[in-house]
Amino acid sequence: MRLLLRLASIFLFLSTFNCFASVWDDNQLWSVQYEEDFSIWMNSNSVNETMFTDSKSPYFGISTDCADTAYALRAIFAFEHNLPFAISNPSGARGSNKTLNNRQNTWNNLPTNKQRLVAMINEIGDSVGTENLAYFDTFPIAINNIAPGSVFMYKIKARFGNFIRHTYNIKNINPVGTFDVIYSTQANKAKGLPLLRRKDREFENMPSEPWGFKKFRWPEQLGLSLADIPDELGPSLEQYTLAKQLGEVGFFKYVTKTLSKTSEPANQKMSRLFNSICVEAQARIEYVNQGLGHLLETKNACMNYEEFDAYSTPARDQMLKELFEKFQHAYLDAEADGELNSVAADIVEYSEVIFKHKSAAQKELLSVCPINYTNGKSISLSELWNRILLGTLSSHPNDTVGARWGESNSRLTKCKRWY
Amino acid sequence: MLFKKNKIILFVLVAVIFIYVSYKNDSEIFNKKISHQKTNYALTSTSNPSEICKEYKATYPYLDKLKLEVPIQLRFENTHLKINNKIYRLRHFFKDGDEGEIETFLVYLEDQNEDAHIIEKSSYHKGKFYSDILKMENTIIYHEEGITLADNTIEPLFLHYINNNLIGTRGKKSSNSPDKEIDCRF
């Protein structure tokens, strides 16, 4: 009897393990129809900012930075539709495991396929960067093939020979040809924050191979030349040729024109850009405060390279400046075209406060978009633009809050600027 | 009577265990099949590279030779080493920071199925195990490198090597070169 009980308990113990389990079993094949379904899914509420951070979400626990987010979304869709998922194996394609894929039993210590999916995605996140996505796992597409689920990836030169790369996941294309994007960043991942979303994003970094507008390769397409990707998926190098021919402004105008269903009236464009500036300017408060929080912890010690990398803001400050410039161009275009009458009066007034130093709506501008960067100190977008133009805004994370926000009487840090 | 009952229970248990073991074996077979299929996922190269690709292949055939000839910039490196009958994978690459690149070092340990499991992660500097492994007596069984020709432009030529042999390129020799070929796989 004892023997029986022992055998029974051993069996029960063994049966709690799902030995040799793949992440999920796929029984479907990728097709053009599934690519369309992927687009619909990307555009749906299933893909949202809190899908990895809400404890009620089935995908709670996934932790992603920029490229990882693209991999994660693709893997989740494949999982939900019993499709295969495979990427070039980031640790090397030796032996039988040429790819990292859903059929692996690497995570079979985990009892459910959702847990194994989360583990697989997190391992991908640890193992890849945007370069893997660009060089191996995606292919460039024709402009008119850009759709929800496509990614836009860029690489730009930063200071001291440093490069910045980023990946945006296109969630939707707005009727006027701007992009609704969902994405993450390294800092976002480190803090465990929800995914970031910008519903009216324009891109400004020119595509150059292998960056730009791209789509995921199907598992069987990994390693294939562009010529071997089926035409119906839209493989194309045209964006690189067009970018060279048209220049940055012309290229993105072409993209907008190709993808838009309606042209964007001056009124709508100016409102959109004003809102974008407000969102990004207020987002800077948090970026700066993260650095200030770190300084509190380290008692104002000079930041080393890693810390500087995490808390400085030169690229983000540059992006904010570019957004102001776009808004200014839109205002000047509307003025030149005699369209200012069609633009909402308050937006025109705010533009004139910001770019022509008119004081009439100064208070309203401050109340509609206050940049409350520290207790008791709040500036308007007009004052912020002024400080950006004067070059007083500091991106150095060792600077005081006043210096970070360009207060004229602030002393600047003597700590090393790493780049 | 009790003995008879026990016999029946024992028989049922043995049957259940037999079914379980069969299922497990089936799973293994299934996974072996999958494992075989995995190779189908993998990196098939095009059979008929263009003239420009052939030219690239002829110009940059071997990594060791290239390193002696021109300055290069490492984009990633994977090295698989055998140490005391265990296989470790070292990965050196660049994550994307908000303001720049984050040099990253990983150590993986392979299991009997050649699946690699991360056992050490380190940013900016090599981790202790990563450094120690390099000092141990080892046999390199696989080496993969992705490099760019270090002309410090946004679109430099990317070259991909496995075990010293060029297996792919992306981009052009220079951004001003007239040829349009930018994606070669060998």
Q: Exposed, middle or buried, A210 (CB in 10 Å: 0-12/13-18/19+)?
A: buried
Answer yes or no: are the C-beta atoms of A381 and A278 closer than 8 Å: yes
Instruction: Return residues 115-134 of A near B (CB < 8 Å).
Output: 123, 126-132
Reading phi first (left if > 0) and then psi (alpha if -120 to 50, else beta), residue A160 is in: left
Residue B28 sits at the chain A interface (C-beta within 8 Å)? yes
**Burial label, A43 (beta-carbon count in 10 A; 0-12, 13-18, 19+):** middle
User: How far apart are the CA of A179 and the nearest CA of chain B, in angstroms?
Assistant: 21
Amino acid (1-letter code) at residue A271: S
Model pLDDT for residues B62-118, shown as the tens digit of each residue: 999 999 988 898 999 999 999 999 999 999 999 998 888 899 999 999 998 888 999
Q: Does B47 touch chain A (CB under 8 A)?
A: no
B144 at A interface, C-beta within 8 A: yes
Touching B: A residues 159-198, CB under 8 Å: 161-167, 185-187
Say yes or no: A268 contacts chain B, CB-CB below 8 A: no
- On chain B, the residues whose CB falls within 8 A of the CB of A9 are none
**Edge-to-edge strands of the sheet including B101-110?**
B116-123, B101-110, B86-96, B72-83, B139-149, B158-162, B165-170, B183-185
Rounded Cα distance, B5 and A4, in Å: 11
Distance from CA of A53 to the nearest CA of B (A): 20
* Residue of chain A with shortest Cα separation from B182: A209
Sign of CA dihedral B17, B20, B26, B27: negative
**Residues A186, B96: C-beta atoms closer than 8 Å:** yes
Which residue, among B17, B23, B50, B99, would best test binding to A if mutated, counting the most A CBs under 10 Å from its CB?
B99
Query: What is the residue whose two structure tokens read 């969630």?
Result: A171
The verdict on pTM exceeding 0.90 is no
pLDDT by residue for chain A (419 residues), tens only, comes to 555 555 555 544 444 444 568 999 999 999 999 999 999 999 999 999 999 999 999 999 999 998 999 999 999 999 999 999 999 999 998 877 789 999 998 898 999 999 999 999 999 999 999 999 999 999 999 999 999 999 999 998 876 677 889 999 999 999 999 999 999 988 888 889 999 999 999 998 889 889 999 999 999 999 888 889 999 999 999 999 999 899 988 999 999 999 999 988 999 999 999 999 999 999 999 999 999 999 999 999 999 988 888 899 988 898 899 999 999 999 999 999 999 999 999 999 999 999 998 878 888 999 999 999 999 899 999 999 999 999 999 999 999 999 999 998 888 999 998 87
Q: Does B78 touch chain A (CB under 8 A)?
A: yes
